[in-house]
Amino acid sequence: MLDLILCVDDDPITLMLCKMVINRSDFAKELITAQDGEQALNYFDELKLNNLGTEIKRYPELIFLDLNMPVMGGWEFLDYFAKQEYRTQFPNCKVIVLSSTIDPEDISKAKTYPMVLDFLSKPISKEMLEDLKKTLV
């Protein structure tokens, strides 16, 4: 079971479903949410500020990331999160792109980011989480 995960999606129904499936699957102890990439980056920036000069001990081990969101979409989030400052401070944080698109170009592009583990189709399911558990071990 993971300690903390972050679900980034602008759709409240998707976030609610994510929480429900994750809680029923004993996949993570805690789930936090963000409604767009900017909120997610702000969360990580706040962690950096609150831990200046010290190692950040608790941060999401996994992010479920939607691609199409207002303000800052998933691609823009990945561009920022792939920068050295984030990779250095959050080295064990992995990303699962969770999208309604199944465009092969999107799937290929997602896999160019070193922190992206997989590209999965919405909605999240218990079976997906069971398969992920095997990948994350």
10-residue stretch averages of pLDDT, the chain, 137 residues long: 95 93 92 97 94 88 95 96 94 93 87 93 91 84
Phi, then psi, of 33 in degrees rounded to 5:
-130, 160
pLDDT at 75: 96
pLDDT at 35: 96
pTM of the model as a whole: 0.94
Sheet with 62-65: list strands edge to edge: 28-34, 2-8, 62-65, 94-99, 116-121
pLDDT at 45: 95
pLDDT at 94: 96
pLDDT at 135: 83
pLDDT at 39: 97
